[in-house]
Amino acid sequence: MGGVTHLIVFLSMFSAITLMSEAQYLLAVTKDEPSRQYYTTVYIGSAAMTSPVNLLIDLGTNLTWLNCRKIKSLSTLGLVTCKSSTCKSIPGNGCDRNTCLYRQPRPLGKNTVVTTGRVVQDNATIFTTEGGQPVHIAPSRRFTFSCAVDKYLQGMAPPIAGVLALSPGEFPFWRQMTSAFNVIPKFSLCLPSSRYGYFFMGTPSLGGKKTVPMTSTTLKIDSGKYLISVRSIYVDGVPLTLDPSLLEGGAQLSTVVPFTVLQTDIYNALAQSFTLRATVILWCLSGVS
Ligand SMILES: *[C@@H]1O[C@H](CO)[C@@H](O)[C@H](O)[C@H]1NC(C)=O
Ligand SMILES: *[C@@H]1O[C@H](CO)[C@@H](O)[C@H](O)[C@H]1NC(C)=O
């Protein structure tokens, strides 16, 4: 008996591994100017009648939300009921007359500014890739998001009508799509300094562009945030003298804050060291002339 059980376990493990497709799915990323906001376009609705909706890319949002008035055809849109397993598995969900509700912070507001919306499901269409280029429209898949009213879009660039959730949590867009298409649950983002970039899901490669030199840094995930550890900061080759505990928490990656934000003590040390070095360099330059 023991031998048979082992064989079955082995076979099911084998099939679980081989069923996972090597395919890659793609969405184009656009940088809006002058807001410096990154967004992508998700096609929502049945494949026959999709509505393009531009969504702000946010690594901190747990559930995608958007202005559902942008969806032209409501034939495939469905409300998620409070009793459904989908509603129960969304952390921090609420309930209003049997409709699942979700409250979450808005990426561009202070932490106290939240958006509340009904949780719905509709189909989304994305592209499959070959050598990093979009080649086919993948069959549409259902995905879960929440509907928000116009006023929550305040602060976003005019083309944008919602937020694409890319947090490390349970229900972000990338997790829903990689699970629906049965591909490796990974994504890569290539944010452009101007105009267009890419957002890939599935096999981790930047569209076969193997010539791009890459240095890798270990990513840590903590309380729904992506973090990298910073060990020291140098100014003109000289390390800042910092209390090491200041760097302990790590640095959070963000796609919505356009500039690096430093804790006050770190900022002061950097500014002081920078001013000192800049003065030395200026003094040298004037000494030469
Ligand atoms: C919506 O997606 C589901 C799979 O998640 C699929 O079975 C269904 O055919 C899609 N519906 C439309 C109208 O594209
Ligand atoms: C997202 O979910 C994680 C884990 O459930 C939680 O720690 C985090 O605070 C949530 N983030 C936001 C912005 O709601």
Rounded Cα distance, 270 and 265, in Å: 9
Rounded Cα distance, 44 and 78, in Å: 12
CA-closest residue to ligand 1 atom 5: 141
Ligand 1, atom nearest to 139 Cα: 14
How would you classify the pairing of strands 65-66 and 141-147?
parallel
Rounded Cα distance, 223 and 217, in Å: 19
Tokens for 285?
């330059």
Pick from 250-254, 274-278, 283-287: least confident: 283-287
pTM of the predicted model as reported, rounded to 2 decimal places: 0.85
* Structural domain spans, the chain: 7-208, 219-288
Q: What angle do CA 156, 157, 158 make, to 5 degrees?
A: 115
What residues flank ligand 2, with Cβ below 6 Å? Answer: 60, 62, 91, 104-105, 167, 169, 223-224
Mean pLDDT of the chain: 84
CB atoms within 10 A of CB 28: 14
| Residue 53 near residue 41, CB atoms below 8 Å | yes
- DSSP H helices, the chain, are 2-19, 85-89, 173-180, 264-288
pLDDT level of residue 97 (50, 70, 90 thresholds): very high
- Report CA(69)–ligand 1 centroid distance (Å): 21
Q: Is 137 in the pocket of ligand 1 (CB under 6 A)?
A: no
Peptide bond into 34 cis (omega under 30): yes
- Report CA(230)–ligand 1 centroid distance (Å): 44
**Helix, strand, or coil (residue 119):** strand
pLDDT above 90 for 20: no
Q: 247: exposed, middle or buried (C-beta count within 10 Å: 0-12, 13-18, 19+)?
A: middle
For residue range 23-56, list pLDDT tens digits in order.
788 899 999 999 999 999 999 998 788 899 999 9
Q: What architecture is the 7-208 domain classified under in CATH?
A: Beta Barrel (2.40)
Residue 78: φ, ψ to 5°: -130, 145
Q: 206: exposed, middle or buried (C-beta count within 10 Å: 0-12, 13-18, 19+)?
A: middle
